[in-house]
Amino acid sequence: MFSRFFGANRRPFSSLSEQEVLALAISSEEDDARIYRAYADGLRDEFPHSASIFDEMAEEEDGHRAALIALHQQRFGDRIPLIRREHVSGYYNRKPDWLVRPLGLEKVRAQAETMEEQAHRFYVEAAKRTQDAGTRKLLGDLAAAEKGHESLAHRLTEKHLGPDERAEEDDTAHKQFVLTYVQPGLAGLMDGSVSTLAPIFAAAFATGDTWQTFLVGLAASIGAGISMGFTEVASDDGVISGRGSPIKRGVTTGLMTTLGGLGHALPYLIPHFWTATVIAFIIVFLELWAIAWVQKRYMDTPWSRAIFQVVLGGALVFGAGMLIGNA
């Protein structure tokens, strides 16, 4: 187990023969073409124009693989050794982010650039290790081609993504971000900030004990976070609604709920009651302002309505807590 963990069974790149370097290049091009096609499949429904870019980049990788196979047949015959990137120590790996749905458009574009840069470095190093003129020329040409893929991606983007198409896809990506992260996070922040006001301030004014108030706030915040997180996960799998991964939404909702409650619970770690309470009041104001800002920034809610909603809700819950605490 330890040898596998520390990579003892992997070959160092410097120990590979020219035939093995060619075989590694062939398998890497095959993998990269599959990855580009997986990216294209993952983007096709929501970002068809970007999917076309990755389809053409996959075809480019197929051409590289064909040239490498032809060279291997010429020099070493038809039998290609089985060697893949995971068999070589220090060789770059590909994170299986193409398996994640939905795919993030900008993340995929950035990953494609990283892939091409890594492939470029590999071909540069591989070309240094061969004495055969034909092999050296092909590897050098492939290094230049991989380096030029950035310009290829740019040209393909111009071909498939005009201003209207790009704006359309950027708008779709923004909507997906709002549905997957902003809405669940906002719901969690509102629930954590507002719903915990009553128990925290009720405990504060009923007991006058900052430590007991903090424990009540801690329990309420964590309990609300767990409840909201599981509710978000169980209520919608995202398939029909298009709201994205329920795990991502649930984690976002749960964390923001907990943070919203802890914001005005943590001041009660201060032993002085009125100091802690004044700081908690200030934090509540900042939390409610943050909620209104998120509504305005991402939900296009007018300032007046956003402020009215959060202030009214917060005031009602805070008032309930004060009345109960002084009963």
The Cα-based distances of 249 to 171, 204, 230 in angstroms read 20, 32, 10
What distance in Å separates the CA atoms of residue 95 and residue 118, rounded to the nearest whole number? 13
The answer to whether 289 and 273 have CB atoms below 8 angstroms apart is no
Please work out, in degrees rounded to the nearest 5, the angle formed at the alpha carbon of residue 106 by the alpha carbons of 102 and 109. Answer: 105
The answer to whether 153 and 113 have CB atoms below 8 angstroms apart is yes
What distance in Å separates the CA atoms of residue 159 and residue 161, rounded to the nearest whole number? 6
Please list the ranges in the chain whose pLDDT falls under 70.
Answer: 1-8, 90, 92, 97-105, 148-170, 172, 239-242, 306, 309-310, 313-327
Helix, strand, or coil (residue 242)? coil
The answer to whether 173 and 105 have CB atoms below 8 angstroms apart is yes
The Cα-based distances of 45 to 5, 39, 102, 106 in angstroms read 39, 11, 10, 16
Helix (H) or strand (E) holding 12, with range, is strand 11-12
| The two three-digit tokens of residue 190, written as one number | 């509102």
The model carries a pTM of 0.52
CA atoms within 13 A on the CB side of 140: 10
pLDDT at 275: 92
| The two three-digit tokens of residue 67, written as one number | 């040239």
- Residue with the two structure tokens 């549905």: 179
- Please tell me the CATH code under which domain 2-161 is placed: 1.20.1260.10
CA dihedral 254, 259, 265, 271 (to 10 degrees): 130
| Domain residue extents for the chain | 2-161, 171-325
pLDDT at 158: 56
Please work out, in degrees rounded to the nearest 5, the angle formed at the alpha carbon of residue 280 by the alpha carbons of 275 and 286. Answer: 135
Q: What are phi and psi of 66, to 5 degrees?
A: -65, -40
